[in-house]
Structure 1
Amino acid sequence: MKIEEKKVVGLTYELKVSRDEDDIESAPFSVEIRDKEDPFYFLFGQSGLPEKFEELLAGKNEGEDFSFVLSAQEAYGDADDELIITLPTSQFSGERGFSPEMLDEGNFLPLMDENGYSMQAKILKNLGDQLILDFNHPLVGFDLHFDGKIIEVRPATEEEMQHGHVHGDHGAHD
Protein backbone atom coordinates (compact mmCIF):
# COMPACT_ATOMS: atom_id res chain seq x y z
CA MET A 1 0.00 0.00 0.00
CA LYS A 2 1.23 3.49 -0.87
CA ILE A 3 1.73 6.38 1.58
CA GLU A 4 -0.87 9.08 0.96
CA GLU A 5 -3.52 11.12 2.78
CA LYS A 6 -5.77 9.18 5.19
CA LYS A 7 -3.17 6.45 5.74
CA VAL A 8 -1.49 5.33 8.95
CA VAL A 9 2.25 4.91 8.45
CA GLY A 10 4.64 2.84 10.58
CA LEU A 11 8.39 3.43 10.34
CA THR A 12 11.62 2.22 11.80
CA TYR A 13 14.51 4.66 11.48
CA GLU A 14 17.67 6.15 12.85
CA LEU A 15 17.74 9.92 13.19
CA LYS A 16 21.10 11.66 13.13
CA VAL A 17 21.60 15.41 13.43
CA SER A 18 24.27 17.80 12.27
CA ARG A 19 24.69 21.54 12.39
CA ASP A 20 26.36 24.13 10.17
CA GLU A 21 28.30 26.58 12.30
CA ASP A 22 30.65 29.13 10.77
CA ASP A 23 30.46 27.22 7.45
CA ILE A 24 31.76 24.03 9.11
CA GLU A 25 29.28 21.16 9.19
CA SER A 26 29.47 18.90 12.23
CA ALA A 27 29.55 15.15 11.66
CA PRO A 28 26.05 13.68 12.04
CA PHE A 29 25.45 12.01 15.41
CA SER A 30 22.64 9.66 16.35
CA VAL A 31 19.88 11.07 18.57
CA GLU A 32 17.03 8.57 18.11
CA ILE A 33 16.51 5.01 16.96
CA ARG A 34 13.01 3.61 16.41
CA ASP A 35 13.34 -0.13 15.83
CA LYS A 36 10.90 -3.02 15.37
CA GLU A 37 10.29 -3.15 19.14
CA ASP A 38 9.42 0.58 19.20
CA PRO A 39 8.35 1.71 15.71
CA PHE A 40 7.03 5.20 14.99
CA TYR A 41 3.43 5.47 13.78
CA PHE A 42 1.66 8.58 12.51
CA LEU A 43 -1.37 9.69 10.55
CA PHE A 44 -0.09 10.92 7.20
CA GLY A 45 -1.03 14.54 6.60
CA GLN A 46 -1.80 15.18 10.28
CA SER A 47 1.46 14.21 11.95
CA GLY A 48 2.64 17.62 13.13
CA LEU A 49 6.03 16.68 11.69
CA PRO A 50 7.94 18.98 9.33
CA GLU A 51 6.06 19.24 6.03
CA LYS A 52 9.17 18.20 4.06
CA PHE A 53 9.39 14.93 6.07
CA GLU A 54 5.94 13.85 4.89
CA GLU A 55 6.57 15.18 1.37
CA LEU A 56 9.65 12.94 1.03
CA LEU A 57 7.69 9.87 2.20
CA ALA A 58 4.62 10.48 0.01
CA GLY A 59 4.10 7.81 -2.63
CA LYS A 60 6.49 5.31 -1.05
CA ASN A 61 5.25 1.78 -0.35
CA GLU A 62 5.24 -0.55 2.63
CA GLY A 63 8.57 -2.42 2.71
CA GLU A 64 10.59 0.39 1.07
CA ASP A 65 13.73 1.82 2.61
CA PHE A 66 14.22 5.57 2.78
CA SER A 67 17.14 7.91 3.34
CA PHE A 68 17.00 11.69 3.22
CA VAL A 69 18.23 14.84 4.92
CA LEU A 70 16.06 17.77 5.99
CA SER A 71 17.94 21.05 6.26
CA ALA A 72 17.38 22.99 9.48
CA GLN A 73 15.09 25.33 7.50
CA GLU A 74 13.04 22.37 6.18
CA ALA A 75 12.87 20.87 9.66
CA TYR A 76 12.39 23.12 12.71
CA GLY A 77 14.10 26.31 11.54
CA ASP A 78 16.26 28.61 13.60
CA ALA A 79 15.89 29.35 17.29
CA ASP A 80 13.37 32.07 18.18
CA ASP A 81 14.65 34.35 20.95
CA GLU A 82 11.05 35.13 21.91
CA LEU A 83 10.69 31.50 23.03
CA ILE A 84 13.34 31.99 25.74
CA ILE A 85 11.42 33.03 28.83
CA THR A 86 12.24 33.71 32.47
CA LEU A 87 9.75 32.37 35.01
CA PRO A 88 9.73 32.30 38.82
CA THR A 89 11.09 29.05 40.25
CA SER A 90 8.08 29.04 42.61
CA GLN A 91 5.90 27.98 39.64
CA PHE A 92 7.75 24.65 39.67
CA SER A 93 7.03 23.54 43.23
CA GLY A 94 6.57 20.07 44.68
CA GLU A 95 2.82 20.73 44.95
CA ARG A 96 2.77 21.06 41.17
CA GLY A 97 4.66 17.79 40.69
CA PHE A 98 8.20 19.11 40.29
CA SER A 99 11.14 17.82 42.31
CA PRO A 100 14.24 19.95 42.97
CA GLU A 101 16.45 17.74 40.74
CA MET A 102 14.07 18.35 37.82
CA LEU A 103 15.15 22.01 37.93
CA ASP A 104 18.79 21.31 37.04
CA GLU A 105 20.24 23.16 34.08
CA GLY A 106 20.00 21.19 30.84
CA ASN A 107 16.91 19.23 31.90
CA PHE A 108 13.68 19.28 29.91
CA LEU A 109 10.58 20.10 31.94
CA PRO A 110 7.35 18.34 30.96
CA LEU A 111 4.71 21.08 30.82
CA MET A 112 1.20 21.74 29.53
CA ASP A 113 -0.08 24.84 27.83
CA GLU A 114 -3.35 26.58 28.76
CA ASN A 115 -5.25 24.24 26.42
CA GLY A 116 -3.88 21.08 28.08
CA TYR A 117 -1.42 20.20 25.29
CA SER A 118 1.91 18.66 26.29
CA MET A 119 5.02 20.70 25.70
CA GLN A 120 8.52 20.88 27.08
CA ALA A 121 11.05 23.53 27.94
CA LYS A 122 14.78 23.17 28.40
CA ILE A 123 16.26 24.79 31.50
CA LEU A 124 19.05 27.05 30.26
CA LYS A 125 19.84 28.57 33.65
CA ASN A 126 18.61 28.15 37.21
CA LEU A 127 19.09 31.50 38.95
CA GLY A 128 17.67 30.27 42.26
CA ASP A 129 14.48 32.35 42.32
CA GLN A 130 14.06 32.26 38.54
CA LEU A 131 14.49 29.80 35.66
CA ILE A 132 15.51 30.76 32.15
CA LEU A 133 13.58 28.35 29.90
CA ASP A 134 13.90 27.63 26.19
CA PHE A 135 10.60 26.64 24.56
CA ASN A 136 12.16 26.12 21.11
CA HIS A 137 11.89 22.61 19.65
CA PRO A 138 14.92 20.53 20.83
CA LEU A 139 15.97 19.96 17.20
CA VAL A 140 15.81 23.63 16.16
CA GLY A 141 18.88 24.63 14.14
CA PHE A 142 19.83 21.05 13.22
CA ASP A 143 19.86 19.25 9.87
CA LEU A 144 17.98 15.95 10.29
CA HIS A 145 19.36 12.77 8.65
CA PHE A 146 16.81 9.95 8.40
CA ASP A 147 17.61 6.35 7.40
CA GLY A 148 14.79 3.87 7.78
CA LYS A 149 12.19 1.47 6.48
CA ILE A 150 8.44 1.74 5.96
CA ILE A 151 7.07 -1.23 7.90
CA GLU A 152 3.33 -0.62 7.57
CA VAL A 153 0.85 1.45 5.59
CA ARG A 154 -2.86 1.00 6.20
CA PRO A 155 -6.05 2.99 5.79
CA ALA A 156 -6.85 5.21 8.77
CA THR A 157 -10.12 4.48 10.54
CA GLU A 158 -12.88 7.10 10.65
CA GLU A 159 -12.19 7.54 14.36
CA GLU A 160 -8.47 8.13 13.71
CA MET A 161 -9.30 10.72 11.05
CA GLN A 162 -11.73 12.50 13.40
CA HIS A 163 -9.26 12.51 16.30
CA GLY A 164 -6.23 13.33 14.14
CA HIS A 165 -3.99 10.57 15.52
CA VAL A 166 -3.32 6.83 15.42
CA HIS A 167 -5.25 4.54 17.78
CA GLY A 168 -4.57 0.99 18.92
CA ASP A 169 -1.28 -0.80 19.55
CA HIS A 170 0.88 1.95 18.05
CA GLY A 171 -1.09 5.05 19.00
CA ALA A 172 -3.45 6.54 21.55
CA HIS A 173 -5.69 4.29 23.61
CA ASP A 174 -9.22 5.47 24.28
Structure 2
Amino acid sequence: MEISNNTVVGLTYELKVSKEEGEIESVPFSVEIRDEEDPFYFIFGQSGLPEKFEEMLIGKKEKDTFGFIIKAEEAYGEADDELIMALPKNQFTKENGFEPGMLDEGNFLPLIDENGYPMQAKVLKDLGEEVLLDFNHPLVGFDLHFEGEIFEVREATPEELDHGHVHGEHGHQH
Protein backbone atom coordinates (compact mmCIF):
# COMPACT_ATOMS: atom_id res chain seq x y z
CA MET A 1 0.00 0.00 0.00
CA GLU A 2 1.23 3.49 -0.86
CA ILE A 3 1.16 6.51 1.43
CA SER A 4 -1.82 8.71 0.60
CA ASN A 5 -4.56 10.60 2.43
CA ASN A 6 -6.21 8.71 5.28
CA THR A 7 -3.43 6.14 5.65
CA VAL A 8 -1.63 5.49 8.91
CA VAL A 9 2.11 5.78 8.46
CA GLY A 10 4.75 4.34 10.77
CA LEU A 11 8.32 5.42 10.21
CA THR A 12 11.70 6.01 11.76
CA TYR A 13 13.87 9.01 11.02
CA GLU A 14 16.77 11.16 12.05
CA LEU A 15 16.23 14.90 11.86
CA LYS A 16 19.25 17.14 11.42
CA VAL A 17 19.08 20.91 11.09
CA SER A 18 21.28 23.54 9.49
CA LYS A 19 21.08 27.29 9.20
CA GLU A 20 22.24 29.72 6.54
CA GLU A 21 24.21 32.66 7.89
CA GLY A 22 24.74 34.92 4.89
CA GLU A 23 26.61 32.84 2.31
CA ILE A 24 27.68 30.16 4.81
CA GLU A 25 25.50 27.19 5.79
CA SER A 26 26.21 25.48 9.09
CA VAL A 27 27.03 21.79 9.21
CA PRO A 28 23.79 19.84 9.87
CA PHE A 29 23.50 18.59 13.44
CA SER A 30 21.13 15.97 14.82
CA VAL A 31 18.19 17.20 16.92
CA GLU A 32 15.83 14.19 16.96
CA ILE A 33 15.96 10.45 16.34
CA ARG A 34 12.80 8.33 16.11
CA ASP A 35 14.04 4.73 15.98
CA GLU A 36 12.43 1.27 16.25
CA GLU A 37 12.12 1.78 20.03
CA ASP A 38 10.20 5.05 19.54
CA PRO A 39 8.75 5.15 16.00
CA PHE A 40 6.66 8.03 14.67
CA TYR A 41 3.07 7.15 13.73
CA PHE A 42 0.61 9.57 12.19
CA ILE A 43 -2.46 9.79 9.98
CA PHE A 44 -1.30 11.13 6.63
CA GLY A 45 -2.58 14.69 6.31
CA GLN A 46 -2.53 15.20 10.08
CA SER A 47 1.13 14.74 11.14
CA GLY A 48 1.55 18.18 12.67
CA LEU A 49 4.81 18.49 10.74
CA PRO A 50 5.37 20.97 7.90
CA GLU A 51 3.17 20.25 4.87
CA LYS A 52 6.28 19.70 2.73
CA PHE A 53 7.25 16.73 4.97
CA GLU A 54 4.09 14.87 3.99
CA GLU A 55 4.39 15.90 0.32
CA MET A 56 7.82 14.24 0.19
CA LEU A 57 6.33 10.93 1.43
CA ILE A 58 3.37 10.62 -1.00
CA GLY A 59 3.49 7.34 -2.90
CA LYS A 60 6.13 5.68 -0.73
CA LYS A 61 5.54 2.13 0.56
CA GLU A 62 6.67 -0.11 3.41
CA LYS A 63 10.46 -0.68 3.39
CA ASP A 64 11.08 2.48 1.30
CA THR A 65 13.77 4.78 2.61
CA PHE A 66 13.73 8.54 2.27
CA GLY A 67 16.10 11.47 2.53
CA PHE A 68 15.19 15.07 1.80
CA ILE A 69 15.78 18.64 2.91
CA ILE A 70 13.00 21.11 3.67
CA LYS A 71 14.20 24.69 3.43
CA ALA A 72 13.35 26.96 6.38
CA GLU A 73 10.72 28.91 4.42
CA GLU A 74 8.80 25.65 3.72
CA ALA A 75 9.39 24.31 7.23
CA TYR A 76 8.73 26.64 10.18
CA GLY A 77 9.63 29.89 8.45
CA GLU A 78 11.64 32.71 9.95
CA ALA A 79 11.34 34.09 13.48
CA ASP A 80 8.41 36.42 14.13
CA ASP A 81 9.32 39.25 16.51
CA GLU A 82 5.68 39.50 17.60
CA LEU A 83 6.04 36.06 19.20
CA ILE A 84 8.68 37.37 21.61
CA MET A 85 7.02 38.89 24.65
CA ALA A 86 7.58 39.78 28.27
CA LEU A 87 5.18 38.23 30.78
CA PRO A 88 4.91 38.87 34.53
CA LYS A 89 6.86 36.32 36.57
CA ASN A 90 3.95 36.00 39.00
CA GLN A 91 2.09 33.96 36.35
CA PHE A 92 4.65 31.17 36.81
CA THR A 93 3.92 30.11 40.37
CA LYS A 94 4.22 26.76 42.11
CA GLU A 95 0.38 26.69 42.24
CA ASN A 96 0.38 26.81 38.43
CA GLY A 97 2.84 23.90 38.25
CA PHE A 98 6.11 25.81 37.81
CA GLU A 99 9.32 25.16 39.73
CA PRO A 100 11.85 27.96 40.38
CA GLY A 101 14.57 26.65 37.99
CA MET A 102 12.12 26.46 35.09
CA LEU A 103 12.53 30.21 34.42
CA ASP A 104 16.29 29.94 33.84
CA GLU A 105 17.47 31.37 30.51
CA GLY A 106 17.49 28.79 27.69
CA ASN A 107 14.84 26.53 29.22
CA PHE A 108 11.65 25.62 27.37
CA LEU A 109 8.48 26.13 29.39
CA PRO A 110 5.61 23.69 28.85
CA LEU A 111 2.50 25.84 28.51
CA ILE A 112 -1.14 25.50 27.47
CA ASP A 113 -2.86 28.00 25.19
CA GLU A 114 -6.34 29.44 25.74
CA ASN A 115 -7.87 26.49 23.81
CA GLY A 116 -6.15 23.88 25.99
CA TYR A 117 -3.50 22.90 23.43
CA PRO A 118 0.08 22.29 24.61
CA MET A 119 2.73 24.73 23.48
CA GLN A 120 6.14 25.83 24.63
CA ALA A 121 8.13 29.00 24.99
CA LYS A 122 11.87 29.47 25.33
CA VAL A 123 13.05 31.64 28.23
CA LEU A 124 15.24 34.34 26.70
CA LYS A 125 15.95 36.67 29.64
CA ASP A 126 15.04 37.37 33.24
CA LEU A 127 13.89 41.01 33.34
CA GLY A 128 13.29 41.20 37.09
CA GLU A 129 9.51 41.36 37.54
CA GLU A 130 9.02 39.92 34.04
CA VAL A 131 10.50 37.16 31.94
CA LEU A 132 11.16 37.50 28.19
CA LEU A 133 9.75 34.49 26.30
CA ASP A 134 10.05 33.36 22.68
CA PHE A 135 6.92 31.56 21.41
CA ASN A 136 8.41 30.84 17.95
CA HIS A 137 8.76 27.15 17.07
CA PRO A 138 12.19 25.92 18.27
CA LEU A 139 13.15 25.00 14.67
CA VAL A 140 12.19 28.35 13.15
CA GLY A 141 14.86 29.56 10.70
CA PHE A 142 16.40 26.10 10.25
CA ASP A 143 16.56 23.87 7.17
CA LEU A 144 15.33 20.38 8.11
CA HIS A 145 17.28 17.31 6.89
CA PHE A 146 15.23 14.09 7.19
CA GLU A 147 16.54 10.56 6.63
CA GLY A 148 14.48 7.53 7.48
CA GLU A 149 12.51 4.44 6.58
CA ILE A 150 8.83 3.62 6.20
CA PHE A 151 7.92 0.40 8.00
CA GLU A 152 4.13 0.48 8.05
CA VAL A 153 1.40 1.86 5.80
CA ARG A 154 -2.24 0.91 6.35
CA GLU A 155 -5.72 2.34 5.95
CA ALA A 156 -6.81 4.46 8.90
CA THR A 157 -9.90 3.15 10.65
CA PRO A 158 -13.09 5.26 10.65
CA GLU A 159 -12.57 5.80 14.40
CA GLU A 160 -8.99 7.04 13.87
CA LEU A 161 -10.15 9.43 11.17
CA ASP A 162 -12.97 10.66 13.40
CA HIS A 163 -10.61 11.22 16.35
CA GLY A 164 -7.74 12.59 14.25
CA HIS A 165 -5.06 10.31 15.70
CA VAL A 166 -3.67 6.78 15.50
CA HIS A 167 -5.06 4.17 17.90
CA GLY A 168 -3.57 0.89 19.06
CA GLU A 169 -0.07 -0.14 20.07
CA HIS A 170 1.70 2.93 18.63
CA GLY A 171 -1.10 5.42 19.10
CA HIS A 172 -3.58 6.83 21.56
CA GLN A 173 -5.26 4.47 24.02
CA HIS A 174 -8.86 5.29 24.99
TM-score by length of 2: 0.98
Counterpart position of 2:106:
106
> Secondary structure of the equivalent of 1:170?
coil
Matching residue's letter, 1:145: H
In structure 2, the residue matched to 1:55 is 55
CA distances 1:118-151 after superposition (whole Å, capped 9, x unpaired): 0000001112311111110000000000010001
Q: CA deviation at 1:74?
A: 1.0
What CA distance in whole angstroms lies between the structure 1 residues aligned with 2:119 and 2:108?
Answer: 10
Work out the CA distance in 1 between the residues paired with 2:84 and 2:173. 34
User: Hey, what's the Cα distance between the residues in 1 that align with 2:27 and 2:109?
Assistant: 28
Q: Does 1:158 align with 2:168?
A: no
SS of alignment partner, residue 54 of structure 2 = helix
Which residue matches 1:133?
133
- Stretches of structure 1 that go unaligned for 5 or more consecutive residues are none
Q: Residues 63-121 of structure 1, C-alpha deviation per residue, up to 9 Å, x if partnerless?
A: 10000000001100000111111100000000100000111110000000111000000
| Superposition TM-score, scaled by structure 1 size | 0.98
- Counterpart in 1 of 2:27? 27
CA distance in 2, matches of 1:41, 1:170: 7
Secondary structure, counterpart of 1:61 in structure 2: coil
Q: Which runs of 5+ in 2 are unaligned?
A: none
Please name the residue that 2:115 is paired with.
115
CA distance in 2, matches of 1:135, 1:169: 32
3-state SS in 2 of match to 1:165: coil
CA distance in 2, matches of 1:18, 1:146: 11
**Equivalent residue number for residue 71 of structure 1:** 71
| AA in 1 matched with 2:81 | D
Number of the residue aligned with 1:4: 4
| Secondary structure, counterpart of 1:115 in structure 2 | coil
**1-side partners of 2:93 and 2:137: how far apart?**
24
Partner of 1:16: 16
One-letter amino acid of the counterpart of residue 2, structure 1: E
Moved over 2 A (4+): none
Q: Percent identity?
A: 70
Name the residue aligned to 1:142.
142
Query: Which residue is equivalent to 1:43?
Result: 43
Counterpart-to-counterpart distance in 2, 1:37 and 1:13: 12
Mean Cα displacement is larger for which, 159-168 or 75-84? 159-168
Letter in 2 for 1:22: G
Name the structure 2 match of 1:91. 91
CA distance in 1, matches of 2:13, 2:82: 32
RMSD: 0.8
